[in-house]
Amino acid sequence: MHRNGHRHIPPVATVHEFTEDMVSRHAATGPRYRRAMLILGALFLLGVAGFVARALQDGFDDRLPWGYFAATVAYLMTTAGTAPLIVIGMRAVKAHWHRPLARIGELYGASTVLILAMFIPLLFLIPSAVNRRTLYFQSDGTGVPGTLGRIPGAPQVYDLVLLAALVAAGVGLLWVSSRADRAVVRDHKGQSPGNWRGLLRQWKVHKVGLGLLGATYFLAAIGFISLYSIDFSMALVPGWRDAIYPAFQSISGLQGGLATVLVTMYLLRKYGHFEQYIHMEHFWAPSKILLALCLLWFYFGWSTLIIYWYGRQPVERDVLQLLMFGPYEWFFYGAFLLCFVAPFTTLLWNSVRKSTTGPALAAAFILVGNLFDKLRLYAGSWSVPNEQINFHGLEGVPLVHYPDLLDVLMVVGGISGALFLFLWMARRTPVISLWEMSEGLRLRVVRPFLRTRLTVIGKSE
């Protein structure tokens, strides 16, 4: 809104102007960009060094030293790994504001490769599902009624297959979605445009491909987050039986994914100078969803707490003690404050939502809070001694396991690795989707209406 009361409608560039501008930006790499890549690359290498040192120092027999590493995998999965979900969802409901943030989300799909690489060592650290509580409800045939008997490879094989499907869908989604844009870039460079000619048939295949890969990614992501949260934290703590936990982690993933996209979009707008294409409305609309996700985060967490609180069985009290009010209480309070209280009170106000800084700030809170949340869940559950794995409940709450230098290196290195991959992929494909923005520009006009001017947005289907 202008000071004189008239609404401000952002200037509309033509498709040609937009394409020319984007291609020229894509061709150039600024010193700040190169510096960022260098720093992130170095931190990633330090993380790798930390991992190697941890493997040499502690091996893969004891779970305790790897708790923070497992938390990092969970964190990356529920931030970078879920960023494409936001795009897939918004594309499915044809929300016109998703266009500038679509490619940002898709680029994070490439980080699933790093998640897979980090996940493989973890497979050696968890025991098989035999004769303990797991989602695969199997026994060793000792007479527990209703169990199915041994399921080969559980849980490792199933988690790995699901993550492999996620990686294939994530990389495939990025490749299919950016195909048309890469052809445009090659055209402008005077290179051969490859197989892409922009034929009607190619566009149809492109659309179907995006739909199928999007659906696969969605199912694989929710499935993997659910399985990972059960197999790599809950099933390791005797007495922790919380049916809402996988759904809670999925909601946390959606919240983290949207927060990742918003923070990246803010940085891109501010430091990449994309003000012309990323407007307030592109923060305003997702900020409402972020607000709803904050409420859902609280609701799912509360649903666990109230049932355990009312149950007051010794096993339930021990689990609450381990994960919320005991050794990791400060992580829990931090997560509660930053995943719910701070973003909720920030986004509650329309004037804050209707800005570029407000939603980005709330998203930044969430990204930090999500890290605290994963640290308390995974460091906590990985600190339970292996001997207790098939007990009915915890035999005493384990003491807090503080991170050492190697843990810090692995956490920072993992996060830096995902960001490095994002920047690296952003050099290979335009960071704002050319075809989707062009489509949006064609479907948007500003027309007079009564005594004002309104934006008219076409809904093609």
> Which residues of 353-442 form beta strands (DSSP E)?
none
Q: Which range touches another protein (CB under 8 A), out of 7-15, 21-29, 205-213, 415-423?
A: 7-15
49 near 365, Cβ under 8 Å?
A: no
- 2 near another protein (CB under 8 A): no
- 14 near another protein (CB under 8 A): no
Residue for token pair 């290196």: 409
Considering beta carbons, is residue 107 or 235 the nearer one to another protein?
Answer: 235
Q: Which range touches another protein (CB under 8 A), out of 68-76, 182-190, 255-263, 450-458?
A: 450-458
Alpha-carbon dihedral 295, 284, 166, 111, rounded to 10 degrees: -110
Question: CB of 95: closest distance to another protein in angstroms?
Answer: 9
Considering beta carbons, is residue 7 or 428 the nearer one to another protein?
Answer: 7
Stretch 209-238: interaction string toward another protein, x if CB under 8 A: -------------x---x------------
Q: 361-394: b or e for each residue (b if 16 or more CB lie within 10 Å)? A: bbbbbbbbbbbbbbbbbbbbbbbbeeebbebebb
Considering beta carbons, is residue 31 or 143 the nearer one to another protein?
Answer: 143
**Torsion sign across C-alpha atoms 134, 137, 142, 143:** positive
Q: Which range touches another protein (CB under 8 A), out of 72-80, 174-182, 306-314, 367-375?
A: 306-314
Stretch 254-293: interaction string toward another protein, x if CB under 8 A: ---------------------------x------x-----
Question: CB of 442: closest distance to another protein in angstroms?
Answer: 6
- 134 near another protein (CB under 8 A): yes
420 near 35, Cβ under 8 Å?
A: no
Phi, psi of 448 (to 5 degrees): -70, 145
Please choose, from the candidates 134, 123, 128, the residue with its C-alpha nearest in 3D space to the C-alpha of residue 237.
Answer: 134
Q: Among 79, 177, 304, 370, indicate the residue that binds another protein (CB under 8 A).
A: 304
C-alpha span between 72 and 32 (Å, rounded): 27
Instruction: Tell me how long the chain is.
Output: 461
- 458 near another protein (CB under 8 A): yes
191 near 249, Cβ under 8 Å?
A: no
Considering beta carbons, is residue 56 or 148 the nearer one to another protein?
Answer: 148
Q: Which of residues 343-382 bind another protein (CB under 8 A)?
A: none
